[in-house]
Chain A
Amino acid sequence: MTEATDLAERAGDRDPRVGLRAVAALRRLLEQLEAVQVRSARNQGWSWQEIAAELGVSRQAVHKKYGRH
């Protein structure tokens, strides 16, 4: 119950800092998750094209970000 109350309080927090910080943190988390999944797919022999299609981005974008060169 305390957890639920706590969450309700936070959700009602109008301090933009809290919300912005959460967005920035989420972005960092997303970046690491993406890196883990892309690496895993490459290790399993996926092509950049296949990875890009799943991520919904261009092949060039994903290769530029994660390719060695």
Chain B
Amino acid sequence: MFERFTKDAREVVQGAVEQAERARSSSVDAEHVLLALLDREGSRASFALASLGLSGERKQSVRDAVAAARRRAGLSQAETDALAGLGIDVSEIVARVEEVHGIGAMSGDRKDKGWWSGRRTFSRDAKGILERSLRTAVARGDRHIGDEHLLLALTAGPGVPAETLAAHGVTHESLLRVLYGGGEAKAG
């Protein structure tokens, strides 16, 4: 599958691994793919994001929102609301755990150095993003998988990346519009 990835898309995947390493996360998650995409410049995805107003401070706002979600066990707002419906206050749980185990204890990231020297695996969510990007490209008749397909895949499902991007005006539909025009055939 990777032989069909463009240079930009490969760099996003590599960037996601680096994001996970920097955070000392045990796995590469969909959030790391998003953070890697935000770092791109001059790619199709970065142009699409910029034309939807996501650049500079707005990008930082997305990074902050992702970090906040990771701190609450990687739960999206929709999931947090669903738990509130059961009478479970996620922020209360996170606060109590952090009181004993330190800030970010529920993020799945580790602060102690060198605990994980092995190869990081892609989480189920992150694998799903890669597979969906392939399907998106195939469905559109695009021969290669670019970083815009990764971005489209991120916004297609539930979860923290899609929710955070949507809160910043970047939805699957708005991306399709700026990438391919209003429901027209592929842009090439």
Contacts and interface: CB of A to CB of B under 8 A. Distances in A.
Contacts of B65: none
B31 to A, nearest CB: 13
Interface of A: 7, 10-11, 13, 18, 21-22, 24-26, 28-29, 31-33, 35-36, 39-40, 68
A37 B63 CA distance: 27
A22 B86 contact: yes
B84 to A, nearest CB: 8
Interface residues of B, number: 26
Interface of B: 73-75, 78-80, 82-88, 90, 93, 97, 100-101, 105-108, 110, 115-116, 118
Contact of A28 (B73, B110, B116): B73
B108 A32 contact: yes
A28 B75 contact: yes
B85 A29 contact: no
27 contacts: A10-B84, A13-B85, A18-B85, A21-B82, A22-B82, A22-B83, A22-B85, A24-B79, A25-B75, A26-B83, A28-B73, A28-B74, A28-B75, A28-B79, A29-B73, A29-B75, A29-B90, A32-B73, A32-B106, A32-B107, A32-B108, A33-B73, A35-B108, A36-B106, A40-B100, A40-B101, A68-B116
Nearest to A66: B26
Contacts of A21: 78-79, 82
